[in-house]
Structure 1
Amino acid sequence: MTHAEPYWQAGQEPGRQVVALGVAVILTAVAVDVLLVGRLTIFFDLCFTAACLLLATLVRRRDFLLVAFLPPLLMTVVVAFLALVARDVVADPADSLLQAVVSGVATHGVALGAGYALCLAWLGWRLHRGGNLVAELSRELT
């Protein structure tokens, strides 16, 4: 009889796949928001926050560090991409690229802070409740 893993140890996805999923989810939220409203709204903020928690849940323990740095990087890259292709979505069209990126990240800073806090808290809780990572890695290698 096999025993089910507790939900804090359930994430088994490699870090690269989790990053790819995060990018896909966030770009989908951007596309939906821009197509429906023409700019980023609270819908994007809620999707970003939920995606950060989802990524922290899905990643395997040895790739925690990659996901721990992902939310601010993901927000900055998405806003920079939007500032390049459709500046009016994240800032004033007359703004420079740097100003549009800073303005876009600042505008969605609450979502970034909430998503990052949830991500780090969930990773920390999984790490605390999951036992010894060194022992787990040595079992995988043998």
Structure 2
Amino acid sequence: MSQSTDRERRTLWEEGREPGLQVVALGVAVSLSALAIDLALGGDVGLLFDLSFVALCLGLALAVRPRDFFVVGVLPPMLMVGVLLLLELTRPAVLGHPRDGAIQSLVTGLADHSGALVAGYVLTLATLALRQRFAGRATAAAEAQAANLDGSPAPTRTTSG
């Protein structure tokens, strides 16, 4: 079977082949880019960042290889905290009140964007679960097909009387 035929037969659940470290780097880069664009357009963290974060979480769950599911499974909360913490350290007045401390502003930012965090996390975990379930079925089907060699008769059930 040729490589192009193999790619044509893959489903959406089988496409992810990127290593976990590369997916994490992509997630950091895209989320920081979305944050920068949102800050440039509106001056604060708004809906653009939230929608980008949710879409990014789904995309990362689809892009990662099955061996690295755990890495992406724990990524959304850490990614959100990391991005908001970096924002708080570089631009303190964006997330909370200017007199708030860094931790209080971070908690305020997490509360303000909790909907995006929950939606992104749920989508990530659901996608990974579906991919895991589908991969298990595909593996079982491939093993069954390999066990039935070409030219061998189909298994039958016989009883002796």
Deviation at 1:51, TM superposition (A): 0.3
Cα shift readout 1:2-53 (whole Å, capped 9, x = no counterpart): 3322210110000000000000110000000111111000110000000000
Aligned to 2:38: 33
Conserved? CA contact 1:61–1:133, under 8 Å:
no
User: Whole-Å Cα distance in 2 between the matches of residues 117 and 133 of structure 1?
Assistant: 24
Aligned to 1:9: 14
User: Whole-Å Cα distance in 1 between the matches of residues 133 and 63 of structure 2?
Assistant: 16
Conserved? CA contact 1:34–1:89, under 8 Å:
no
Instruction: Find the partner of 2:94 among 76, 89, 92.
Output: 89
- The runs of 4+ residues in structure 1 deviating greater than 6 Å are 132-135
Change (3 A) 1:119 1:106: same
Deviation at 1:101, TM superposition (A): 0.7
Change (3 A) 1:67 1:19: same
User: Whole-Å Cα distance in 1 between the matches of residues 10 and 46 of structure 2?
Assistant: 38
Aligned to 1:60: 65
User: Whole-Å Cα distance in 2 between the matches of residues 100 and 47 of structure 1?
Assistant: 21
Identity %: 48
* TM-score normalised by the chain length of structure 1: 0.90
* TM-score normalised by the chain length of structure 2: 0.80
Deviation at 1:89, TM superposition (A): 1.7
User: Whole-Å Cα distance in 2 between the matches of residues 33 and 96 of structure 1?
Assistant: 23
- Residues 1:102 and 2:107 are matched in the alignment: yes
- Residues 1:24 and 2:29 are matched in the alignment: yes
Residue identity matched to 2:41: L
Aligned to 1:117: 122
User: Whole-Å Cα distance in 1 between the matches of residues 55 and 19 of structure 2?
Assistant: 19
Deviation at 1:62, TM superposition (A): 0.3
Aligned to 1:130: 135
Q: Between Structure 1 and Structure 2, which shows a larger proportion of helix residues?
A: 1
Q: How many residues align?
A: 135
